[in-house]
Structure 1
Amino acid sequence: MSARRLLYVLSAIAIFHLTGCATYGNGVQQALTAVDQGDYTAAATQIESTLSADGKDRLLYNLELGVIRHLEGNYAESNRLLEDAARITEALKKRQLRDTLMVMMSNPRNADYAGNTHEEMMIYYYKALNYLAIAGTLPYGNARQDAVEGARIESRRLLLRLQALRNNEGSYNQYKDKEERTFSKVMDVFSVLVGNLVDTEDLTYRDDALAHYLTGVSFEMNREFDNARISYLKAAESYESGYAEQFQLGSGMAAQAWMDAARMMQRAGFTDAEIQTATAGKLSAAQQSELNDLEGKGQVLVIEHKGRVPEKKELNLQLSINPNLRALELQPYFFEYSQEEINWFYLLYADKMFYGLVADYLNATRNFRVDFFTKTIFLGPLYDTAESMGLTNAVGNSLRVAVPYYARPVEYGQSQLSVGQQSWSLDPAASPQLMAIQEQMKNAGPEIRAALSRAAVKALTAAAIGSQDSSGLLAFAGKLAAQLTDAAETRSWLLLPGEIQIRRLFLEPGDHTLTLDSRLTGQQRTQRQKQLTLQEDDIQLWTVRTNGSTTHVDAPVSEPKQNNPTPIESSPPHDPTSKPTRRLPTKE
Structure 2
Amino acid sequence: MSASIKKSISLLVVLIKLCLLSACNITPLQQLSPAQLAQQGHFAKAKQNITQNYSKTGNERLLYHLEMASLLQLEKNFEQSNTHLSEALNLIESFYTQSISELAMVQFSGPTYTTYKGKAYYVPQIHTMKAINYNALAKENPTQAQAFWDAALVEMRQLDVFLSELKEKTGGYSSAQTNDSTASKINKVLTPIFAPKGLLENIDYKDDAYAHFLSGVLFEQSGELDSARLQYERAMQMYDNGFEQQYKLPELISQQVSAALIRVMQKSGGYQNKLRELKNRLKGKLESSDNNANVTIVQDIGIAPKRKQLNLLLKADAKAKALVMTPIVFGTTKERKAQVRWFQMLHADTSLFDMVQNYMLGDLGDVAMGTVTKRLPLGPLWDDAVKLGIVDALEFGARISVTYLEPIDTPVKRSEVWLAGKRYTQLLPYHSIGLLTLQDALAQSTNEIRAALTREITKALSAKKVLKEVGVKQDNLLGSLAKLSTSLVNAITASADTRQWQTLPLEIRVAQFALPAGEQQITIKTYLNSGHIIEQSETLNINRNMGLWHTRTFLNTKRDQSSHALSTLNME
TM-score normalised by length of structure 1:
0.81
> 1:19 deviation in Å?
11
SS at match of 2:326: strand
> 1:68 deviation in Å?
0.8
Partners of 1:353 and 1:46 in 2: CA distance: 42
State the match for 1:509 in structure 2. Answer: 517
State the match for 2:484 in structure 1. Answer: 476
State the match for 1:194 in structure 2. Answer: 194
- Any idea what the Cα deviations from partners look like across 1:339-377, whole Å, max 9, x if unmatched? 1101101111122279xxxxxxxxxxxxxxxx9933322
SS at match of 1:318: strand
> 1:211 deviation in Å?
1.2
Partners of 1:348 and 1:280 in 2: CA distance: 44
> 1:525 deviation in Å?
2.6
State the match for 1:570 in structure 2. Answer: none
Distance 1:346 1:96, change over 3 A: farther
Distance 1:397 1:201, change over 3 A: same
> What is the identity, as a one-letter code, of the residue corresponding to 1:543?
H
> 1:34 deviation in Å?
2.4
SS at match of 1:279: helix
Distance 1:390 1:20, change over 3 A: closer
Q: How does 1:169-180 map to 2 (within 5 A)?
A: 177-179=178-180
> What is the identity, as a one-letter code, of the residue corresponding to 2:498?
T
SS at match of 2:534: strand
SS at match of 2:298: strand
Partners of 1:475 and 1:540 in 2: CA distance: 67
State the match for 1:343 in structure 2. Answer: 341
> What is the identity, as a one-letter code, of the residue corresponding to 1:542?
W
> 1:56 deviation in Å?
0.7
Partners of 1:498 and 1:406 in 2: CA distance: 13
| 5+ long unaligned stretches in structure 1 | 1-16, 355-370, 556-588
Is 1:486 aligned to 2:481, yes or no? no
Q: How does 1:30-429 map to 2 (within 5 A)?
A: 30-95=33-98, 98-139=101-142, 143-168=144-169, 177-179=178-180, 181-194=181-194, 199-270=199-270, 273-274=272-273, 276-287=275-286, 290-291=287-288, 294-333=289-328, 338-352=336-350, 373-396=372-395, 398-411=397-410, 412-420=412-420, 421-429=422-430
- Any idea what the Cα deviations from partners look like across 1:175-225, whole Å, max 9, x if unmatched? 96522x111111111112236655333101111111111111121111122
Partners of 1:19 and 1:135 in 2: CA distance: 51
> 1:270 deviation in Å?
2.7
Aligned residue pairs total 512
Is 1:447 aligned to 2:448, yes or no? yes
> What is the identity, as a one-letter code, of the residue corresponding to 1:379?
L
Contact 1:319 1:397 in 2 (8 A): no
> 1:428 deviation in Å?
0.4
Partners of 1:69 and 1:31 in 2: CA distance: 12
Distance 1:334 1:550, change over 3 A: closer
> What is the identity, as a one-letter code, of the residue corresponding to 1:344?
W
Is 1:549 aligned to 2:556, yes or no? yes
- Any idea what the Cα deviations from partners look like across 1:68-120, whole Å, max 9, x if unmatched? 11111122211111111112122223125541111111111111111122223
- Any idea what the Cα deviations from partners look like across 1:315-351, whole Å, max 9, x if unmatched? 1111111222322122212677811101101111122
> What is the identity, as a one-letter code, of the residue corresponding to 1:99?
E
Partners of 1:477 and 1:496 in 2: CA distance: 41
> What is the identity, as a one-letter code, of the residue corresponding to 2:540?
L
Q: 1:538 aligns with which of 539, 545, 563?
A: 545
Partners of 1:83 and 1:235 in 2: CA distance: 25
Partners of 1:37 and 1:474 in 2: CA distance: 50
Contact 1:526 1:553 in 2 (8 A): no
Identity of aligned residues (%): 29
> 1:38 deviation in Å?
2.3
Partners of 2:176 and 2:114 in 1: CA distance: 18
Contact 1:148 1:219 in 2 (8 A): no
- Any idea what the Cα deviations from partners look like across 1:365-419, whole Å, max 9, x if unmatched? xxxxxx9933322223322121111110101252210100000012232101111
Contact 1:351 1:374 in 2 (8 A): no
> What is the identity, as a one-letter code, of the residue corresponding to 2:511?
R
Q: Which moved more, 1:375-384 or 1:426-435?
A: 375-384
C-alpha RMSD of matched pairs (Å) = 3.0
| 5+ long unaligned stretches in structure 2 | 1-20, 353-369, 563-572
Distance 1:283 1:335, change over 3 A: closer
Partners of 2:24 and 2:350 in 1: CA distance: 38
> What is the identity, as a one-letter code, of the residue corresponding to 1:349?
H
Partners of 2:136 and 2:500 in 1: CA distance: 26
Distance 1:40 1:538, change over 3 A: farther
> What is the identity, as a one-letter code, of the residue corresponding to 2:499?
R
Q: How does 1:512-527 map to 2 (within 5 A)?
A: 512-520=520-528, 522-527=530-535
> What is the identity, as a one-letter code, of the residue corresponding to 2:104?
L
SS at match of 1:116: coil
> 1:238 deviation in Å?
1.1
Partners of 1:53 and 1:543 in 2: CA distance: 29
